[in-house]
Structure 1
């Protein structure tokens, strides 16, 4: 019943292609290697870029492993999907890139192909399984719930539509509807019943 977004599918397809199949495979060094990105953890704020054609990511090693994972995926999005110096771009474009990076972080740190939908996932279980900060696990949990809710509504609506009466069956229509359809029939010379 769960249908991933295009970005989710793209990330999972790339991970599967690179044989990143289980939560235990979500190691910053491994992911950086398969995406051909130089990775380092250092005493500095997180940043990324491209220098002489080589992409790189730096995370802040003063932070917890969970927080460094968040930084890593955020910067990985910028390296893989974005171009340009954010300091010199229009604010709306920069905000769009940051929104993209948030979604990418949520989907890459908790890829849908690794989620066991047969279990009762909780925010805490996602946080622990995928080693991410609570707010990332919460965002992902809510995203999953929202998509499952929408999917269930779509199924319910399809079932309802298959049981609806025909629009041309006047038996179960109001008197006013019947009158209007009959008037339309006379005006256009077309018989709908």
Structure 2
């Protein structure tokens, strides 16, 4: 039996957006280009990362003191807040805040490592974590979480089809 990965709708949506914008390989995943593709202004400051929407203006500011990998992870996290969330976390109940943070963490894995680019890698390689971390310019923790999710997905569909 072959093992099949079934992407979630959110993963498909992200991948389709990237494909429409010509972002087809990890080397083309420049966060400035991605921000422009969503009509978001992106800036860097020596201040904690944040995002906000005001009318039609969408802004993400990334902490310039972070490493490149951390900046990218923060960008995708804040991108989720812009695209999927509303309201100010400063005044919302803790449960809603926690839910948004959980969603942003999940979104970060999908947006930083899109499923349609997985075919470019040998997922069975003993060096896969380092290879993907280097290619996508994210930390190994994000890659490990993404790969764990992929393996859980495959196992689930394998068990459902037995």
Please give the TM-score of this superposition, normalised by the length of structure 2. Answer: 0.91
Alignment of 1:103-114 (within 5 A): 103-114=106-117
Per-residue Cα deviation, 1:63-82 (whole angstroms, up to 9, x for no partner): 11100000000000000111
Residue equivalent to 2:59 = 56
- The structure showing larger relative contact order (alpha-carbon pairs under 8 Å, at least 6 residues apart) is 2
Aligned length: 156
The aligned residue for residue 164 of structure 1 is: none
**Aligned positions of 1:13-162 closer than 5 A:** 13-116=16-119, 119=122, 120-121=124-125, 122-155=128-161, 157=162
How far off is 1:88 after superposition? 0.7
Q: What corresponds to 1:6 in structure 2?
A: 9
Counterpart CA distance in 2 for 1:147 and 1:117 is 19
Unaligned runs of 5+ in 1: 158-193
Bigger CA radius of gyration? 1
| Structure 2, unpaired ranges of 5+ | none
Question: Aligned Cα RMSD in Å?
Answer: 1.4
Deviations, residues 69-108 of structure 1 (Å, cap 9, x unaligned):
0000000000011111001111111111111100110000
Once superposed, which parts of structure 1, at least 4 consecutive aligned residues long, lie more than 3 Å away? none
- Taking structure 1 as the reference length, the TM-score comes to 0.77
The whole-number CA distance in structure 2 between the counterparts of 1:107 and 1:118 is 16
CA distance in 2, matches of 1:47, 1:124: 28
